[in-house]
């Protein structure tokens, strides 16, 4: 599975091709491989914002405010990125919301505050967090993760229309 976690396709391939490959893997009951491929071949920020929208549909009003800040975050807004990090820390990095905010934070800039020299999280750190959130969500939408991943992926595809 580690081999598949690092499996990438050419960046020239479209999301449609990625979705088709994931769909084929799911049809062969290779849901873990499909999930790895989906996460590793989709832009992290796109997945983070999609997850925030998806989770917000069944969240409390307070959580929804935080999730909407993730959805509305604009690339380069470092002040808001740090605010998202602080909110993630306060709700706890072990929660889905905290982990989602943390994944945005580490994927979009330095993890050291100004005026210190920039320090960046290891590559693919956010991908591993996103994978964990998707596994958790798959268990929320279904009793079994294999069926849950299929449901989440269908929801993802429908949101891309």
Q: What is the dihedral of CA 121, 124, 125, 128, to 10 degrees?
A: 180
Question: pTM for this structure?
Answer: 0.88
Burial 128-149 (b: 16+ CB within 10 A, else e): ebbbebbbebbeebeeebeebb
Contacts of residue 155, Cβ cutoff 8 Å, sequence gap at least 6: 54
Contact 145, 138 (CB under 8 A): yes
| CA distance linking residue 8 with residue 30, whole number of Å | 17
Tens digits of residue pLDDT in 66-100: 999 999 999 989 999 999 999 999 999 999 999 99
Q: Which residues of the chain have pLDDT under 50?
A: 1-12
């Amino acid at each position: 599975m580690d081999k598949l976690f690092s499996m990438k396709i050419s960046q020239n391939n479209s999301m449609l091709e990625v979705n088709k490959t994931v769909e084929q893997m799911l049809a062969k009951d290779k849901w873990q491989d499909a999930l790895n491929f989906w996460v590793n071949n989709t832009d992290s920020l796109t997945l983070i914002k999609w997850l925030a929208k998806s989770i917000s549909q069944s969240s409390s009003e307070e959580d929804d405010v935080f999730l909407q800040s993730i959805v509305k975050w604009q690339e380069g807004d470092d002040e808001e990125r740090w605010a998202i990090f602080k909110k993630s820390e306060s709700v706890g990095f072990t929660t889905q919301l905290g982990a989602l905010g943390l994944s945005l934070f580490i994927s979009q800039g330095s993890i050291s505050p100004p005026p210190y020299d920039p320090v960046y999280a290891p590559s693919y750190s956010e991908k591993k967090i996103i994978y964990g959130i998707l596994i958790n969500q798959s268990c929320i939408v279904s009793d079994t993760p294999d069926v849950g991943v299929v449901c989440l992926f269908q929801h993802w595809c429908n949101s891309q229309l």
